[in-house]
Amino acid sequence: MADRFALLQGNEACVEGAITAGMRFYSGYPITPSTEIAEGSAVRLPQVGGKFVQMEDEIGGIAAAIGASVVGVKSMTATSGPGFSLKQENIGYAAIAEIPVVVVDVQRSGPSTGLPTSPSQGDVMQARWGTHGDHPVIAISPCSVQDTYYQTIRCFNLAEKYRTPVILLMDEIVGHMREGIELVPEEELPEEFKIVNRDNNMVDGKPYACAKGEYVPHQPPFGTGTRYNITGLYSNEYGFPTNDNDIANAKATRLMEKIEKNLDDILDYEEENLDDATVAIVCYGGTTRAVMEAVAQLRNQGVKAGMFRPVTVWPFPEQRLKEIAKKVKTVLVVEHNYGQLVEEVEKVVKGAAKVEFLGKWDGTTITPAQIINKVKEVSKNAK
């Protein structure tokens, strides 16, 4: 058993967070830099009566995790770059069939095999639109080892509550960074991380029906007395496939609305020094620590910089960023890629402030000094 205070890396904290959240099944395939999540799950799960299975490939990894969730067991799979690509089809399956599952992607550098041990945030758009077709998705990006512990719990809670795949969008920086953390036990968790278990009381006796004004069905686990069908086809309230365009439209729309209508609950972001800021630095995940340091140093030098960090990356916290953009001159997006989330930021800011970009895609990390220099440069441009 893990001690309450420990020196862990992000990947290990993810396993501990998952166990606290109630994960009792893990299936996956080894891949750098996420392998420690599989290794940790293999050690920890049987200790608490859970199961671990190393599947034959990445696709099997997510498929078995979804299967375990169908019988009511909280489940997770973890991967990185190439494996995240391979899992995409079944992320869509879990989305349309409305099966809770947590998918961890510890991002690494480059397409294909790229730089397997180097940091990157090149999967942020894939996390949103990786699987085919319109679909709902929630993606959460932790910025430290302690944050990984909490955000993993939050991923399970959101998956259970909204019956949808939730992506824990880590990166190599956070995954392999070691920090002292506190493994807060279930009963002492802060209110926002209190454990959520799915509601299995069917509405109107139909597995895929939703209560009036609600968007999430309450299908019970297989083997508990209600026999019904689950499919990746558009289906009716009994889970039986249909070609009826009205039924398909109702289901497709509801899937998107269950996220859109619950933004207050799903969205989370962190802000620092934004009140009087002229430059708002947008960052997420492992980039955050460098930005925090840069903001502190810039403030010491009298530069009015602040930070806006979406914790929930998808859905994107549009409304809040719009408000911030109205008050600053410049929005600087700092991310470890060739420019991905910056496009979403431009779409949201819509000219209310000047959008600038600082990226890195060579497998090295962005330093506070680079951010400071960039802020000074864009501040001049804004004058």
Partner 1 sequence: MPSKLVEKTFRMENLPHIWCPGCGHGILMRDVAQAIENCNLDPEKVVIVSGIGCSSRAAGYMNFNTLHTAHGRAIAFATGIKMANPELTVIVITGDGDCTAIGGNHLIHACRRNIDITVVVFNNNIYGMTGGQYSPTTPTGEKGTTAPYGNIDNVFDITGLAQAAGATYTARGTAYHATQTIKLIENGIKNKGFSLIEGVSVCPTYYGRKNKKGSVVKMMNWQKDNAIDVKKAANMDEKELKGKLIIGEFYNNPSTTGEYTERYDEIIKKLGGDK
For residues 55 and 199, what is the distance between their CA atoms, to the nearest angstrom? 29
| CA 72 – CA 290 distance, rounded (Å) | 40
The residue within the footprint of partner 1, chosen from 6, 30, 89, 199 (CB under 8 A), is: 89
Among 194, 240, 244, 350, binds partner 1 (CB under 8 A): 240
Alpha carbon 205 to chain centroid distance? 32
φ, ψ for residue 281, nearest 5 deg: -95, 120
Taking the least distance from each CB to partner 1, the nearer of 25 and 357 is: 25
266/206 Cα distance (integer angstroms): 26
Does 27 bind partner 1 (CB under 8 A)? Our answer is yes
Q: CA distances (Å), 26 to each of 74, 76, 89, 175, in order?
A: 9, 5, 19, 18
User: In the set 24, 218, 304, 336, which binds partner 1 (CB under 8 A)?
Assistant: 24
Binding mask 54-73 for partner 1 (x = CB under 8 A): -xxx-xx--xxxxxxxxxxx
Residue 25 or residue 193: which is nearer to partner 1 going by CB?
25
Based on CB atoms, which residue is closest to partner 1, 49 or 111?
A: 49
Q: Which of 230, 248, 296, 303 binds partner 1 (CB under 8 A)?
A: 230
Using CB under 8 A as the binding rule, whether residue 198 contacts partner 1 is answered as: no
132 contributes a contact to partner 1 by CB under 8 A: no
Using the contact rule CB under 8 A, the part of the chain among 13-21, 221-229, 257-265, 318-326 near partner 1 is 221-229
CB of 63 to partner 1, least distance (A): 4
> What angle, 0 to 180 degrees and rounded to 10, lies between the N-to-C axes of helices 35-47 and 10-21?
40
Q: Closest distance between partner 1 and the C-beta of residue 250, in Å? A: 19
Residue 208: CB atoms within 10 A of its CB come to 23
Q: For helices 318-327 and 341-349, give the axis angle rounded to 10 degrees.
A: 70
Centre a 10 Å sphere on the Cβ of residue 309 and count the other Cβ atoms it contains.
22
Q: Does 227 bind partner 1 (CB under 8 A)?
A: yes
Query: Is 225 one of the binding residues for partner 1 (CB under 8 A)?
Result: yes
Residue 132 CB contacts under 8 Å (≥ 6 apart), including other chains: 88, 89, 92
* Contact between 229 and partner 1 per CB under 8 A: yes
Size of the site for partner 1 (CB under 8 A): 44
The length of the chain is: 383
Strands 269-272 and 312-314: unpaired
Residue 141: exposed, middle, or buried by beta-carbon count in 10 A (0-12, 13-18, 19+)?
buried
233 binds partner 1 (CB under 8 A): yes
180 binds partner 1 (CB under 8 A): no
User: Of 23 and 255, which CB lies nearer to partner 1 in the complex structure?
Assistant: 23
Residues binding partner 1 (CB under 8 A): 24-25, 27, 45-51, 53, 55-57, 59-60, 63-73, 75, 89-90, 93, 222-225, 227-233, 240-241
